[in-house]
Amino acid sequence: MNVQCEHCTHLFGVWKCSAFPDGIPDVITDGDHDHTKPYPGDHGLRFEARTSARTQALQPNSMSDHSLGFRPSDFPLH
């Protein structure tokens, strides 16, 4: 999947988004089409960057121990 899709607010699944709920066309995921421009079947929805907070929340391992309500010192190793 191209970087544009990975950072789009419309992405909701693997190879799926609000513009293409049945699957994002290869020409877009391969990066051969800039989806800030219209593409047939996109229902008028185009690439829209996520806000930084949402982007961070959706990144793997983005949650800190503190956001889970505990500190590393709560679990001593000795």
- Residue 24 burial (CB count, 10 A): 25
CA 76-73-67 angle, 5° bins: 130
> What average pLDDT does range 4-10 have in this prediction?
91
pLDDT at res. 56 = 52
pTM for the whole structure: 0.62
Are 57 and 26 within 8 A, CB to CB? no
Measure the CA–CA gap between 68 and 19, rounded to whole angstroms: 34
Q: Render pLDDT for 12-66 as a digit per residue (tens, 0 to 9).
A: 988 899 999 999 999 999 999 999 999 999 999 999 998 865 545 555 544 444 4
pLDDT at res. 63 = 45
The structural domains of the chain, with segments of one domain joined by +, span: 3-54
